[in-house]
Amino acid sequence: MAKPSVSASPSSTPLLKDELDIVIPTIRNLDFLEMWRPFFQPYHLIIVQDGDPSKVIKVPEGFAYELYNRNDINKILGPKASCISFKDSACRCFGYMVSKKKYIYTIDDDCFVAKDPTGKEINALEQHIKNLLCPSTPFFFNTLYDPYRDGADFVRGYPFSLREGVPTAVSHGLWLNIPDYDAPTQLVKPLERNTRYVDAVMTIPKGTLFPMCGMNLAFDRELIGPAMYFGLMGDGQPIGRYDDMWAGWCIKVICDHLGLGVKTGLPYIWHSKASNPFVNLKKEYKGIYWQEELIPFFQSVALPKECTSVQKCYLELSKQVKAKLGKVDDYFNKLADAMITWIEAWDELNPSTATAA
Amino acid sequence: MAKPSVSASPSSTPLLKDELDIVIPTIRNLDFLEMWRPFFQPYHLIIVQDGDPSKVIKVPEGFAYELYNRNDINKILGPKASCISFKDSACRCFGYMVSKKKYIYTIDDDCFVAKDPTGKEINALEQHIKNLLCPSTPFFFNTLYDPYRDGADFVRGYPFSLREGVPTAVSHGLWLNIPDYDAPTQLVKPLERNTRYVDAVMTIPKGTLFPMCGMNLAFDRELIGPAMYFGLMGDGQPIGRYDDMWAGWCIKVICDHLGLGVKTGLPYIWHSKASNPFVNLKKEYKGIYWQEELIPFFQSVALPKECTSVQKCYLELSKQVKAKLGKVDDYFNKLADAMITWIEAWDELNPSTATAA
């Protein structure tokens, strides 16, 4: 089996240097970038400033970036800015829309460089890029994990017709130290830390939903960008902390429909501090029970075969959200409308790949 | 979330000492047991002697075992012995049938004790038992792997209604050193060794098939035993090396239907030597192309809701095999008949759990 060749020696040009934007939502100075300098400095940053737009966010010297605050978002999108959340890290998806690059990596500003079990600092971005450039295998499970990795392959019994894999749209990375728990679990286990380094990357099988965390996430904008909408959260909305989950359920059913792959596992980042579980509980509690209806909904979504582009899939999904989740709460009617606005705004900023094109 | 408590201190009674049989198919003296003595000696062994029944198999002293050769199998099963393969390790499934215990662990005689990254010898059986006694989570993917393990849990976005999990029917362990490759991959990569210790156990999601290897496998006989049939392989049959694969596809669709879990990952054993790829190619080549029709078949199997026991599921599956795979090759008509014979033999030896019961 010929393998895709993806390698990067430290001396060579960083992988995809001119084809990837790093999107960071923040409300504070970006001192955390100092630690990432050896890995991020060659890349362009898109900073989405949340909260008070008059506040000045300091970015360490030497980084190339563009920064958008709420005033910028309102100016660029006009009335369509209503689909971008405020006072919630869900605002990061504006950065996906405004980027002109093929790939996006997004990271939270409380995430630091983790170390592998040998003590070596992990270049998370490089691992994400490797994940995105190697195929995925969503149709059959490989027990030795990523079959394209050095030292691994497809095991006995893996159908040969499936060994070419499919293009990878999303790479979901994990977190050492503070795990990504919901408020009830945080409250019950305040001292739990993730210390287990699992040396694996795997494809999430077709038909299986997963909880996608936006803390350490990369994706191919051309393949799945228009579905990476983080919904309506935060200011004026009844929930928070479900932005990345919502996006994850949407992208998964669309990737499954379009034959694209979603990977999870390596790379790890070091998640430095737990958010306040009491505040989180307030943000999450409606999501916690709505979710019990959302999961069966997403598990049963069927997209018609006329949905041949991400935009078409996403608009169809918004219709089904309104039809089936509108009765759970009126919030989902608003969300369904915002999903349409999001696609309109995406197409306006990305005319060459627009729905009509 | 309350967790199932499964622990074993070295000084305590070994887990499930009187509820588990170790099934070993072999054609040679069982010297490999010396290495396993600290872990296996408390348990009862069922040795299924393949090939020439007049040969005497030596078992190291101190092990409690029963041994069945072909003459024994013929005597016990009479004409139904036709469903048990000869000159192929598929004969091991006779051991599953003749056991009276709730749990089975089966291992090949070229598998030795592996070491974890700290150099500690791995008690594979203990890990399998932990896997079997903890629930599985087939309905939604947990990105931090087994949520019941110490130091892990369900991550944010995992539906609370699914956190109790379902009973685990099968625990599929992995292999360090010689990976379980098919003949073409063996031929292309004769020197590849698996050196990567992935510290994870995971549930294979509902609706996803996997290549189940019989080398290092444990299961709950009461939950899934009658579906653990390793088919017709070896002497007089057109294929080999698909015995465990066949069983894996059958048990997976039945576990999915009955709401039971299948896990893969830890524990590792040390697989000492690669089998001959030229011999393997001869055994496998029909399987390699038949498989391209088998996988779509198993992916589309639907069991009616009247199938409420493993036996009923398995008999229904045999009907569908005959109806849909009989045209691929007459071999599948024979196999479908053997599947029925297997259930009849199983029920005869296990009357209290028989189909009619």
CA distance B200 to B232: 33
Question: pTM score, two decimals?
Answer: 0.95
Mean of pLDDT values over B245-258: 98
Cis peptide before A267 (omega within 30 of 0): yes
Tell me the torsion sign for CA atoms B250, B251, B252, B254.
positive
Q: Among residues 243-262 of chain B, which lie with CB inside 8 Å of chain A?
A: 244-245, 248
- Cα–Cα distance list, A130 to A12, A125, B150, B282 (Å): 15, 9, 30, 37
Task: Report pLDDT digits (tens) over A273-318.
Answer: 888 999 999 999 999 999 999 999 999 999 999 999 999 999 999 9
Q: Do A143 and B264 make contact, defined as CB atoms within 8 angstroms?
A: yes
Task: Report pLDDT digits (tens) over A158-183.
Answer: 999 999 999 999 999 999 999 999 99
Mean of pLDDT values over B88-109: 97
Residue of A nearest to B194 (CA): A151
Whole-number average pLDDT of chain B: 95
Residue of B nearest to A264 (CA): B143
- Cα–Cα distance list, B125 to A116, B41, B82, B224 (Å): 29, 11, 31, 19
Residue numbers in B near A152 (CB within 8 A): 179, 194, 196
Q: Do B194 and A161 make contact, defined as CB atoms within 8 angstroms?
A: no
> Does the pLDDT value for residue B2 go beyond 90?
no
CA distance A231 to A220: 19
Looking at the complex, report in whole angstroms how far the Cα of residue A107 sits from the nearest Cα belonging to chain B.
17
Mean of pLDDT values over A126-142: 98
> Does the pLDDT value for residue B300 go beyond 60?
yes
By the CB < 8 Å criterion, does B285 face chain A? no
Q: Which residue has the tokens 């599956």?
A: B317
- Closest CB to A151 among B195, B207, B212: B195
Q: What pLDDT score was predicted for residue A8?
A: 47
Q: With beta carbons less than 8 A apart as the criterion, state whether A168 and A134 touch.
A: yes
By the CB < 8 Å criterion, does A210 face chain B? yes
Token pair, residue A53, equals 């737009």
> Does the pLDDT value for residue A40 go beyond 80?
yes
Residue numbers in A near B184 (CB within 8 A): 160
pLDDT band of residue A9 (cuts 50, 70, 90) is: very low
Residue of A nearest to B142 (CA): A210
Residue of B nearest to A158 (CA): B211
Residue numbers in B near A156 (CB within 8 A): 180-182, 185, 211, 213, 241, 245
CA distance B263 to B217: 10
Looking at the complex, report in whole angstroms how far the Cα of residue B202 sits from the nearest Cα belonging to chain A.
10
Task: Report pLDDT digits (tens) over B217-235.
Answer: 999 999 999 999 999 999 9
Mean of pLDDT values over A230-238: 96
Q: Do A154 and B185 make contact, defined as CB atoms within 8 angstroms?
A: yes
Distance of CA B166 to the CA centre of its chain: 19
Q: Percentage of chain A with pLDDT > 70?
A: 96
Interface contacts A/B by beta carbons within 8 Å: 177
Mutation target for B interface from A137, A148, A155: give the one with most B CBs within 10 A. A155
Q: What pLDDT score was predicted for residue B356?
A: 57
By the CB < 8 Å criterion, does A264 face chain B? yes
Amino acid at B90: A
Q: Do B181 and A248 make contact, defined as CB atoms within 8 angstroms?
A: no
Q: With beta carbons less than 8 A apart as the criterion, state whether A26 and A50 touch.
A: yes
CA distance B40 to B22: 8
Higher pLDDT, residue B51 or A6: B51
Q: Do A209 and B288 make contact, defined as CB atoms within 8 angstroms?
A: no
Mean of pLDDT values over B51-58: 97
Q: With beta carbons less than 8 A apart as the criterion, state whether B52 and B87 touch.
A: no
Q: Percentage of chain B with pLDDT > 70?
A: 96
Whole-number average pLDDT of chain A: 95
Q: Among residues 13-42 of chain A, which lie with CB inside 8 Å of chain B?
A: none
Q: What pLDDT score was predicted for residue B355?
A: 66
Q: Identify the three-state secondary structure at position A177.
A: strand
Reference A199, options A135, A139, A129, A122; nearest CA is: A122
Task: Report pLDDT digits (tens) over B165-194.
Answer: 999 999 999 999 999 999 999 999 999 999
CA distance B135 to B144: 15
Dihedral class, residue A94 (left if φ above 0, else alpha if ψ from -120 to 50, else beta): alpha
Q: What pLDDT score was predicted for residue B14?
A: 82
> Does the pLDDT value for residue A357 go beyond 60?
no
